[in-house]
Amino acid sequence: MIQPIYLYGSEVLRRKAEDFDLNDKEGLATLVQDLKETLKVSDGCGLAAPQIGVSKRVLIVDGTGMVDVYPYLENFIRTMINPVVIEESGKTAVYSEGCLSIPGVYCDVSRPASMTVEYYNEAGEKVTEVFDKFACRMVQHEMSHLDGDMFVDHVAPIRKKIIARKLVNIATGKVSTHYKSKIK
């Protein structure tokens, strides 16, 4: 079912999400389906469970809509349950980030250029995978949501001042989205 996306200022986005109980197969199937359907209609490239009001460590990334810019993202779709960063590179990369929970705001953010993540897939299998380039960025961005962290927390102080009014407007509901959204 398509869920509303919680916007900047919503308490759920600032909470550290809890691990998902892998024995709850029915609950997992429902949550994953909701994430997929909501992501599809919102035209994003990733969505974490807290963004639909569920404080659990589940996320989806889908780079297939970006193959015109990043051809290596063809077929790049991941559902990650209880992901954990095993290792991050010392080298960093800067990309412009945006977020469905912070509509209309884009900022350059520096993050590790690659990382190794251990997670469970939809079948309940443990997977260890290395991510780099923009795939790494998508996973990092969504994993940050699981820790109550948002990309605007990583921008330079002067940039944060520049976007402050936009953030206040979002947090007070003075924003328009083409997808269902809410602040709570």
Catalytic (active-site) positions: 142
Q: Give the residue from 15, 182, 45, 3 showing the smallest Cα distance to 101.
A: 182
CB atoms within 10 A of CB 41: 13
As a whole number of angstroms, the distance between CA 26 and CA 31 comes to 9
Structure-token pair, residue 157: 């102080």
Structure-token pair, residue 183: 């602040």
Token pair 């997992």 in the structure block, residue: 28
As a whole number of angstroms, the distance between CA 121 and CA 81 comes to 6
As a whole number of angstroms, the distance between CA 126 and CA 98 comes to 29
